[in-house]
Structure 1
Amino acid sequence: MGNQPALMFFLASSLLLVLQKLEVVNAVGCTGSLFNSNSSYAQNRRDLFSTLANKVATNGGFYNASLGKSPNRVHAVGLCGRGYEQQACISCVESAVQILTTTSCPNRMDSFTWDKDGEDNVSCLVSTSNHSTFGNLELRPPVRYQSPDSIEPWKNMTLFEQQWNAMANRTLEAAAEAETSSVLKYYSAEKAEFTEFPNVYMLMQCTPDITSQDCKTCLGQCVTLFKEQVWGRKGGEVYRPSCFFRWDLYAFHGAFDNVTRVPAPPRPQAPEKESSITEKKGRSIGYRVIIVIFVLLTFINILVFIGFIKVYARKKKLYNIITNVGSAEYSDSDGQFVLRFDLGMIIMATNDFSSDNTLGQGGFGTVYKGTLLNGQEIAVKRLTKGSGQGDIEFKNEVSLLTRLQHRNLVKLLGFCNEGDEEILVYEFVPNASLDHFIFDEEKRSLLTWEMRCRIIEGIARGLLYLHEDSQLKIIHRDLKLSNILLDAEMNPKVADFGTARLFDTDETRAETKRIAGTRGYMAPEYLNHGQMSAKSDVYSFGVMLLEMISGERNKSFEGEGLAAFAWKRWVEGKPEIIIDPFLIEHPRNEIIKLIQIGLLCVQENAAKRPTMSSVIIWLGSETIIIPLPNAPIFTRSHSQSENGTMSMSSDVFTELSCR
């Protein structure tokens, strides 16, 4: 019986060790569906993992990569804590990969692990998924570690918490301040002296692909989680997929060798023993203690106030950035904030806008291929000075694309407007635009009937999202094949929103005096009278659909346009004349159905054109009866005024000048 206290202490200590080990196991998060170990997805993941450790180390501590084609495409992210030796980083990432592939998540699509190389105390992150997480704030699952020891009960915890909070605020603010000179740009390490602790160490870091505001959010939630769950321990760590936070009473790793210690606030004097001889002396000591505490609390309040001022200044700075690109409607509920790229970073990514990296040349500027330091490929649209796409179009595209998310819309990653440069940064779409395929004699043969159907349906779904399904109602106004990009799997993505128009949800039609778009693709009511609606985009879609079927440019049909030519062949009962020779062997009825849909989209009366939702239904059904089209409007005559502008009678619509 006399040994019971010792036995209970032993059991309690053993239980604590077991719980701590369980926490290490829970450092892995596995979600998503299962995959077969012999599948293409599994092989792509193994191939990515085989080089991930070296890629992370050689790219400065952070690397993002993907491999394979959908649905077996695998995305992976690797991160090492800042300042670690290259070999220690490699060992940590390799260990994390081993945990995911053999121990914890061998057959899960989505998995995360935070591993620590015990000898070097290196923290590293490895995540894998069947969808890209790059640039997204990832907060779950959180993982927590803490010291088994509690702070001594005789310590002044109220004073300790005040000083700890001030230190956490300073470290968080410094970490969220992006350092453009470093790949791992969100980082801060601080050591400080507290009133009752000689040295306190704290470190925070975020993955460099998220925004400064997202970094602040992530670290703030780490600190909150620690205080809510294990406050009172002598140190601890909280990890999330986008950031990590650690503090301790000893220097861990070499992160604090060159960090200047923040001195402690004035130490309150210990009250002297009250003299039984003089009560006056005791009261004097009490007053001094009260004054010291008051001064100390005032000092801490000043630090907290400064922290709030810095937070407010950063929020105001972020608001100014957004305002400068013309998006006063941005808020957290609208989605992620768009990233402002440093001009030096873009120059480095494109090799100073090298001609070797040119992807295409348009009326508003040149598009270059670029590669960021983390290996991500991007497309950089550098607007030509005086090109005609001025501040309005630039702000318009940034404002709209940051709030539109659809697989058939091109994704805007960020922008740059330093000096007289105006630059848009998009996801890299490797197969260029659709016109490079459909109007090329050799490449057109690659567009099989099945592929063309998939591309047409994808464009239709992108337009349906713009017109009806997104939180905004958008009219694109410049739809044409050169503004349809193709990704690695030949999926279409609608691009170039510089002239797009935002509608109120209950607004169906508007008028403008500023006509923007490309002749030959513009609806007659828009070209002649400035009347725009969703049916304007439907008209452009119809022209593109007919180009996809014929393999011919709209402007190739001098004097009447492709729509009028197709209508004549339709009336004559000879639709096969307009069918691309590469498609002749494919189902004739299916091709004729698409010609019929195209002719319905280009009818003169906008009210008789279908909506994109109707087009989607027709494309996917073999039994629904599709209405018969009316004749489209086409050129009968034209003339040019002396000043070079086109003049038209009220019943004439010309496509002779289409580009």
Structure 2
Amino acid sequence: MEHSTSFRQTLHLLLFCSLLFCLHDLALADPPYPLCSNNTDNNTLLNSSFQNSLQNLLDSLTSNASVSKYYNLSYGNETDKVYGQFMCLDYVKADECHGCISVASQAIMNLCANKTEAVVWEEVCQLRYSNVNFIGRLNVEDNLGKDNVINMSEPVKFQAVVENKLRNLTTTAAFNSSANMYATGDEPYTVGNTLYALVQCTLDLSPDECNECLEAAIKDVSSQCYGSRGARLLSRSCYLRYELYAFYEGANESSVSPQIQPTSTTRGGGNGKKIWLIVVLTIGSAFLLVVLMALIVYRCATKKGTRKGKDEIVRNHVQQHNNGDHEKPGFQDRYFEGLDELKANDSYIDLATIHSATNNFSDSNMLGQGGFGPVYKGVLADGKEVAVKRLSSFSEQGALEFTNEVLLILKLQHKNLVRLLGFCVDQQEKLLVYEFMPNSSLDVVLFDQKKRAQLDWSKRLNIINGIARGILYLHEDSRLRIIHRDLKASNVLLDFDMNPKISDFGMARIFAGADSEANTARIVGTYGYMAPEYAMEGLYSVKSDVFSFGVLLLEIITGKRNAGFHQSTLVAYAWHLWNEGNALELMDPLLIDGLPEEFLRFIHIGLLCVQEDAFDRPTMSSVMVMLKGETVTLSQPQQPAFSVGRFAEHHQRFTQSCSANGLSISSVAPR
């Protein structure tokens, strides 16, 4: 009882100190920094078509953040139209930009709910939307300054250096056409100490507007953050920041030279006391934390025997989990033995050639981020354009999936499968070189309202038929029977003529002899496309790919993602409308040349492919017959998997397109 009382008292003291820190740091909170419109709309906005347009817009902006550091677009019609824009700081890499915008899109929905206009700033990006067209229109209202709590000892001298440097950079960013409205630079302040600064404008501004925006930002940061040793000015149309360390080169505040001394009397006369308060509270909290940890160790030691037994169970589970299909001892070794043999043939490309082709993996050459690492555009010495997939060194499935894909695709030849031109293994580098697909992946085109307009009914049928032919080849016509296991829109690439080619065979599995299904303890794939027997039990077969194809077919003809709308899915909604005789409500309004009868037949085929029982689903050869023959009698589809959902209004038009289908998973233990 005595130990328990002491434990609680110590915990209360620690929580009290933590609360003091929180109160002190409110003004110094980390990003995001939101700025929401003052209007307060009623809750019906959450379910309005404007909210649907906003969600679609944010999804599209996030998707484009992997290939661009600035992007703007609009979504919706008339009063439901919403305009959006993002800007990443030019020094960040594509994957960091994508991650930042992804976080910002979630933050802006949470922090500015029910607002028709908002902007949020993260550490290296900003995201903005409005129901009023702001693209190309300068806005310097409500500029927000954020600064370091510590001032410089000579604020007048320091501020003069800051303003002079920022104005020089402004001239470069605004009026130097090669600067792309971005500039960084450093300026000596005292011996051994340097000021680093950055300015950037959104690319929809003219040079004069960029100059005007940054001049206003300099004025605001000088008044709001005068004498601060570091600050940033957040504006809707531009951004500036300065520090005493090279933040745009990856440095942090710990690299600041100790020769720079802060003033003990800071803005408002209170920051000096705050610093002492921080020191005292830090020491006190550290002491209390040590006491708390000692008590925890003592209490846990008394339960050591029980925990030891539980740890043994966990270790056994992990060992069983890691020894799932195709990961048995010797399996990976056999793969690498095969790679050694392949190095001797024409498929092997040396690392120097790939470095030259991709300009040393330049950010400007990056096409996007794949499941196992970034993809770069390259040009070989003979002028051939290629796409190079660079396996991330942090990928937990790295070596196995890489060797799997190399050995598998080199044996496959079909016009609807992406062609592997070569590969490279050089120390930690593992690279795959594919033919270049100029129209990117299907999801980039299909789930963007403007780009989707390129896909008329005939093109969509061509894509559906091409994907079906590719899967049929894998299942029945190649020398090996292959299950793809990760068929989805982002793994279908489009060539110059919008012909589809299935890609990404890192998850694929080969069936030997007469085998028709297998079981795994290591489930890989993407939620929204995974068959129920695979997601829940680890059981996969050719019917698993048929399920994924059915989801993909429904997405292609409707122009909508499967997962992530309201409490349901596109599959469930299609089943619901089919039973009510209202399936035509799903028809993409952009399909001006689509025939209602043909659309309904394809909905019917899609529902047959996504039936819950794998036995009820057709084979891909049967699917091909269905796709070609209008006179074929189609059976009544049974209830799809995961079709339980709620619909606010049964006849509400479904216009939302969310991004949950993009969630790839690498390992899930089945129940």
TM-score tier by shorter-chain length is 0.3 to 0.5
The TM-score with structure 2 as length reference comes to 0.46
The TM-score with structure 1 as length reference comes to 0.47
Structure with bigger helix share is: 2
Computing the radius of gyration from Cα coordinates, the structure with the larger value is: 1
Q: Structure with the greater relative contact order (CA < 8 A, sep ≥ 6): 1 or 2?
A: 2
